[in-house]
Structure 1
Amino acid sequence: MRNATPLALCFGLCAALLSPPTWTRPPAVSGPHTETGALQGAPWRIDYPARWNGEVVLLAHGFEPVGTSRPEPWPGNENSEALVNAGYAVAQSGYASQGWAVLDAIDDTERLRQRFVARHPDTKRTWILGFSMGGAVAVATLERLPQHYDGGVSLCGANLPGDVLAAEMLASLVAFAYFFPGATGLPEGGLWSPAAGALPQAALFEAVGRAVQANPEAAATLARRLEVGVDELAGTVSLHALVFQQLVIRHGGIPVSNQDTVYVGFGDDTAFNASVRRVAATPAAQARLKRELRLTGALRRPLLLQYNHSDPSVTPRFEPVYPALAAKAGASPAPRVLPRTGDGHCAFTPDEVVAAVVMQSQAASARDE
């Protein structure tokens, strides 16, 4: 220290004594700014607030159909601004691949987290927040890497183990084939067949839509079983076909069997079970799916789950699956399910998203006191 007077030294020492110790203050950042880049093929983005609270949210986005154009640099999520305004840094990976990229998303998000904490070693808390498919990413990340997170939030999340997800998708596809046999423009082998995977997405949706419109009675029965509106049925079945084909591609074959499944809720269930197509799994693909997309419910970090009303993608029958797994596994703490809000898929306001993260942050502060 050059030319310091005794008075200046006193003021400096008093200021140091009166200010909180460094371990209670959020680490400093250089004002509001954004960083972007790529890690092993995955685009990423980090947004920093003007006054950082020392906490970072790793944000996991949802399903991105293969072939979707990707802007450069990676854009912020529609909720990023609200989180940043609340004082959080927000780090987002675009993932190295598109489609049902849960496994890539877990690895890519972890690489981004490592990059962040290496540059900000005084980070106070780390959260993971996921939407839709990203909700499954958030839940799986908390199960697999609990040591790196203080907790997480899954909003409108497909919080299902891989085998349950695949079985749900297959049920939709074989039911569609049962109710709409010989639909024009669709392969005879069914929407689970390799031929369906080769269809352009627009052609798939249009063909499913034509079949639905041609048989309103069958459409009503299937829509009721899938818990969607008739006007949402074509989109739901098409989405299920896209996701199922992704599971087939990523795991090297049909990853689930329905040969012993007894279906209910499809009208005349006796006739349905007698005539519905039965599909055998490829053993290696089935084993790989269970291994790579497993969820056990064995949580060791706080998790908030929240869903929407009238969500055609994550319907009410999906909601109790993960809490039941957690109860069976003796999760500590058990996941907390917030009341539904909004209408539609991922219909949350930015304020609701921030409130869920703040709820976790405040609970963590209370535990620390």
Structure 2
Amino acid sequence: MSTSGTLPDGSQYQIEVPSEWNQNLLLYSLPIPVAPGDPPWPPEDLLIADLMGQGHAIAGASNTIFWPLESSLSNVAPLVDAFRAAAGAPRRTISMGLSIGGLITAGIAERKTGLLSGALPMCANLAGAVAIHNRELDIAFVIKTLLAPESDLALTDIAEPSANLELAAAILAEAQTTPVGRARLALAAAVGNIPGWHVPGSVEPPPTDIAARLANQIAWFEEPGFLVYFWAREQVERQAGGNPSWNSGVDYRELLETSIGRDEVIAHYDAAGLPLETDLETLEASSRIEADPVAVAYLERHIIFSGDLNGVPVLAMHTDGDGLVTPDNQHAYADVVRAAGNEALLRQVFVHRAGHCSFTPAEVTVALESLIERIDTGEWPDLRPDTLNARARAMGSDRHALRSGGTAEPGFFRYTPRPFPRAYDQRDAARAAVTLESAGR
């Protein structure tokens, strides 16, 4: 059965129920905006076809803006109601999603009590909305301050996003032509913990190949980093009612010291004959950006995390070579879940591969099956990488396709992500509220 319709807020929804339905409903949250009236996913989506082939029913609603958290979270209950009216009550309801869709997935687990059996956020912005937009501002701040301080490049309050992106792209192209420019690009990548690995299915450049690693970091800037930093931010600000990001009080020297790219930055500066300390002092002395409290409050609602999982088991999945939604998001999420006393409900698995959301259908299936086993038994199954890889490998070569093209062997591996540079969750929001109250604001 295939059916579609319109939710109360005007969003288009799609419901797919295979003929041999296994009674699982997958609420599929989408990361990418679509044109008004378009379905939430394209007909050629390989993951949708693979999941339906396993007997899962799928329901999702489209979004038409870059930061869809407000509408997506409010649409969950109407979407489930539409599914029940069309197909009946499922045995299990599992939220899953990629990228911002994974953030929505985790948000459903935290905000929609009693709705879910489990959640599978993949390559998700799990550090939460405030932290990830602050990180993007940090990268953009280094770019402008060191590469184009006199330019009209807008970091916040972006009035003309297309022109702003065009200017940013020109700055990026020019910077690549000189050793000094490349060193400063390496520093910008480092403050964001952007890995030096970009193409799914490629071999990771060794740490000593700093030229190749920087080329990969620049590729992350070209697609899609600068689009997010210098164009899409305007949509976030429009929804939030102002600028939700700040860098007042940020120590960029400290961000570099704790970065995955620290040694590469030092090597690039040495090669360029450029004193790193001078640029760090320039960053320290430069005027900083304050946030609009109303906009911060909006992103706190849409969404930062408290670690309250409402009894819902969550299995999170990430690649280590993700330069758009970096794997340190997982560290921030695990930390707040642990602080809330819910670590028994959370497990995280990692795939050694470049790319954003570059999982194969076999890897997603193994993760989903593991989550279902946890739902049914109350105990987490064996999630050791060798076990997961063996299960994925047994599914056959036709299920090892990458969304970007080509195939990949199962890549689960042991990995410990770095701490998120400027984490911000409900604990930070509570401390900020106390500070404002004490100041009489």
TM-score range normalised by the length of the shorter chain: 0.7 to 0.9
For the Cα contact (< 8 Å) 1:219–1:233, is it kept in 2?
Answer: no
Q: 1:201 to 1:149 in 2, by over 3 A?
A: farther
Q: 1:42 pairs with 11, 15, 24, which one?
A: 11
Check if 1:233 corresponds to 2:221: yes
The answer for unaligned runs of 5 or more in structure 2 is: 196-216, 257-275, 380-441
Equivalent residue, structure 2, for 1:157 = 124
Equivalent residue, structure 1, for 2:106 = 139
Check if 1:220 corresponds to 2:186: yes
Using the TM superposition, give the Cα deviation of residue 281 of structure 1 relative to its aligned residue in structure 2, in angstroms: 1.4
% identical equivalent positions: 22
Q: 1:310 to 1:114 in 2, by over 3 A?
A: same
Residue type at the aligned position of 2:222: A
1:306-321 aligned within 5 A:
306-321=317-332
CA distance in 2, matches of 1:200, 1:53: 50
Q: 2:294 pairs with 269, 284, 288, which one?
A: 284
Using the TM superposition, give the Cα deviation of residue 272 of structure 1 relative to its aligned residue in structure 2, in angstroms: 4.4
For the Cα contact (< 8 Å) 1:205–1:238, is it kept in 2?
Answer: no
Q: 2:347 pairs with 323, 336, 341, which one?
A: 336
For the Cα contact (< 8 Å) 2:103–2:125, is it kept in 1?
Answer: yes
1:61-210 aligned within 5 A:
61-64=30-33, 69=35, 72-74=38-40, 75-76=42-43, 77-95=45-63, 97-182=64-149, 187-188=152-153, 190-195=154-159, 197-200=160-163, 203=166, 206-210=169-173
Residue type at the aligned position of 1:303: V
Q: Deviation per CA, 1:121-178, whole angstroms, max 9, x where unpaired?
A: 4310100001000111000110011301001001111112222122112111111112
What SS does the corresponding residue of 2:342 show, helix, strand or coil?
coil
Check if 1:57 corresponds to 2:18: no
Q: Deviation per CA, 1:264-320, whole angstroms, max 9, x where unpaired?
A: 245537514423340111122222222332211111200011111311101233220
CA distance in 1, matches of 2:353, 2:183: 29
CA distance in 1, matches of 2:116, 2:280: 48
Q: 1:232 to 1:292 in 2, by over 3 A?
A: closer
What SS does the corresponding residue of 1:338 show, helix, strand or coil?
strand
For the Cα contact (< 8 Å) 1:212–1:234, is it kept in 2?
Answer: no
Using the TM superposition, give the Cα deviation of residue 53 of structure 1 relative to its aligned residue in structure 2, in angstroms: 0.7
Q: 2:336 pairs with 321, 325, 329, which one?
A: 325
Larger Rg, first or second structure (1 or 2): 1
Q: 1:204 to 1:120 in 2, by over 3 A?
A: farther
Deviates more, 1:35-44 or 1:209-218: 209-218
Q: Deviation per CA, 1:339-367, whole angstroms, max 9, x where unpaired?
A: 22432011011122222222111222223
Equivalent residue, structure 2, for 1:12 = none
Q: 1:225 to 1:285 in 2, by over 3 A?
A: closer
Q: 1:274 to 1:206 in 2, by over 3 A?
A: closer
Equivalent residue, structure 1, for 2:431 = none
CA distance in 2, matches of 1:198, 1:240: 10
Q: 1:245 pairs with 226, 234, 239, which one?
A: 234
Q: 1:291 to 1:73 in 2, by over 3 A?
A: closer
Q: Deviation per CA, 1:181-211, whole angstroms, max 9, x where unpaired?
A: 247xx625x322323x433576256334324
Residue type at the aligned position of 1:328: A
For the Cα contact (< 8 Å) 1:79–1:350, is it kept in 2?
Answer: yes
Residue type at the aligned position of 1:45: Q
Equivalent residue, structure 1, for 2:370 = 359
For the Cα contact (< 8 Å) 1:169–1:244, is it kept in 2?
Answer: no
Q: Deviation per CA, 1:215-239, whole angstroms, max 9, x where unpaired?
A: 2221222223332423323332332
CA distance in 1, matches of 2:328, 2:320: 12
Q: 1:141 to 1:272 in 2, by over 3 A?
A: farther
Q: 1:104 to 1:171 in 2, by over 3 A?
A: same
For the Cα contact (< 8 Å) 2:251–2:284, is it kept in 1?
Answer: no
Deviates more, 1:229-238 or 1:325-334: 229-238
Q: Deviation per CA, 1:37-72, whole angstroms, max 9, x where unpaired?
A: 2213111111111211111000011143xxx54674
The answer for unaligned runs of 5 or more in structure 1 is: 1-32
For the Cα contact (< 8 Å) 1:208–1:237, is it kept in 2?
Answer: no
Residue type at the aligned position of 1:256: S
Residue type at the aligned position of 2:230: A
